[in-house]
Structure 1
Amino acid sequence: MSVKGWIHSIESFGTVDGPGIRYVLFVQGCPLKCLYCHNPDTWSVYEDRDNNKKDTACAKKSGEMTDSETIVNDILSYKGYIKTGGVTISGGEPLMQIEFVLDIIKRCKENGIHTAIDTSGCISVTRSKAVIDEVDLVLLDIKSLDNEQAAKLTGSSNTNTLDTLDYCEKINKKVWIRHVLLPGWTMDMKRLNDLADYLKPYKCIEMLELLPFHKMGEYKWKELGLDYTLSKTAEPDRNDVERVKQIFINKGFSLNITASYGVKSKGV
């Protein structure tokens, strides 16, 4: 039986959200409000409950409702292109729609397609474990190791995120860590050293992705009438990223630069 869910958009030829060429499904809805979010239009789902349909005035924000069977049929039409890659479910926050996401993952695996989720891990493990158990790879976005800073950046604690990493370690689930380099916030040498020290013992971590902050989504904030507080924050340049790279090299991580997207580091 197919499961209904809300989606924002689809990228049929993704190359930066997991290994290989991937079909990337961006689902709608996220409980976080990250200051640097470049897709704030994925945060909310709007529905006209009186008429049992989406509010068309908010259509740009709300995405669209579909079902898991429809999505997987579309995925299968690209199977020849993604055979050495797979499917990544991103967002928004995919773990907000557990039944929908889980059914897509199961159907993909039945068809021999590699699966990944791109998540903040902000949903409790007791709720999210069904998806984590089933998916092949978890792309886990650690906003900040410091709980107070994480709350200021996102509006939420980092406790569930770190619990998610612990659970992945417990069940030996493959993880790629993602971390945004935000000047004045996370792009601090001590914080980055602390992050490297914290992550190093985890055997489940295959890859570390350091993602330089950018403002490509600023226009979306303005279109939605939201205050973008990072307008005057400088984007990291190549020298900034190289300094960060050296921190992780010194901690025993093997790194390489990925053009136009950030730094990728193989697990220790």
Structure 2
Amino acid sequence: MGIQGTIHSIETFGTLDGPGIRYVLFLQGCSLRCRFCHNPDTWAQGGKPLTDSDSVVKDILSYRSFIRQGGVTLSGGEPLMQPEFALDIIKQCKKEGLHTALDTAGAIPLERSRAVLEAADLVLLDIKSLDDRQCFSLTGQGNANTLVTLDYCQSIAKPVWLRHVLVPSWTLDRKRLEKLATFLKKYTCIEKVELLPYHSMGQYKWEQLNLAYSLKDIPEPTEKELAMARKIFEDQGLEVLMTDLGKPKSKSKVS
């Protein structure tokens, strides 16, 4: 039967969460409360029926022909909220020869996340803000665990795609971006930096959940601002991807 866990939704033809075409599994539960979150319905740990890792992997393998040049990505929510469930899925997928990626904010203490980080082929690590106080204001939690996670990935030479959301008036600030780019250039484990332009497409979910959306007056970044951000990281020798996670997803299903 495998390990039990809860899933929010599944994307069977994902192109934005790692290399190639991917089966993306969004696990339920998150310890952060990001102001810009476009999936606040993933926050609560419960509310979804239990499933098991064997059944999940069976479904993944039914898409093997589509994802053989891509792989499987565990996202959320925060997949490290369910480390045993996530680990068993990753191990089974690797036995089947599938590339595995873990999309995480690294906010879970290393003693809980270590085994999953070690098992995944790639870590998509989201640094919300290098400024601990701003990180707390944006997410309800500081960045200490995230930075420990990045240091651990460096120590085990785990490939990382570093993700960072560009929020005007918050993280989309020249000095903050320059400080982050300078900080990141020492990490040889970082293969790419993905800059994610802020969007408000998930605001309707906040309204459906009767939650106050505090960024409703924040505009989306301009092309000039995005070009500025890209140049800052490229000037430090970092490879940059500009990824719009607000694009509509294809072939999705809800658990």
TM-score of the two chains, using structure 2 as the length reference: 0.94
Contact 1:34–1:155 (Cα < 8 Å) also in 2: yes
Picking from 96, 99, 105, the partner of 1:111 is 96
Aligned partner of 1:219 in structure 2 is 204
> Max radius of gyration: which structure?
1
Higher relative contact order (CA 8 A, sep 6+): 2
Residue in structure 2 matched with residue 36 of structure 1 by the alignment:
36
1:194 maps to 2:174:
no
Report the TM-score when normalising by structure 1.
0.89
1:113-152 correspondence runs (5 A) = 113-152=98-137
> Is there any run of 5+ residues in structure 1 with no aligned partner, and where?
47-61, 263-268
Distance of aligned partners of 1:261 and 1:253 in 2 relative to their CA distance in 1, 3 Å threshold: farther
**Matched position secondary structure for 1:229:** coil
The answer to whether the aligner puts 1:93 opposite 2:67 as a matched pair is: no
Out of 124, 147, 158, the residue aligned to residue 162 of structure 1 is 147
Supply the RMSD in Å over aligned alpha carbons.
1.4
Q: Which residue of 2 aligns with 1:54?
A: none
| Pairs aligned (count) | 247
Distance 1:6 1:149 in 2: 31
The CA deviation string for residues 230-250 of structure 1, in whole angstroms up to 9 with x for no partner, is 111000021110111121222
Q: CA-to-partner distance for each residue in 1:28-52, whole Å, 9 max, x for gaps?
A: 0001000000000000033xxxxxx
Offset at 1:63? 3.0
- 1:117: how far off? 0.7
Output one character per residue of 1:101-137: Cα deviation in whole Å (capped at 9) or x when no partner: 0000010011000001100000111111010111100
CA contact (8 A) 1:213 1:236 kept: yes
One-letter amino acid of the structure 2 residue matched with residue 41 of structure 1: D
SS at match of 1:87: strand
Q: Distance in 2 between matches of 1:122 and 1:78?
A: 31
Residue 224 (structure 1) shift: 0.2
1:84-113 CA-to-partner distances (Å, cap 9, x unmatched) read 100000000000101100000010011000
CA contact (8 A) 1:9 1:63 kept: no
Measured after TM superposition, the shift of residue 215 of structure 1 is 0.5
Runs of 4+ in structure 1 deviating by more than 6 angstroms, as ranges, are 259-262
Which amino acid in 1 is paired with 2:218?
A: T
d(CA) in 2 for partners of 1:196 and 1:171?
22
In the alignment, structure 2 segments of 5+ residues that lack a partner are 248-255
* Counterpart contact for 2:87–2:116, Cα < 8 Å: yes
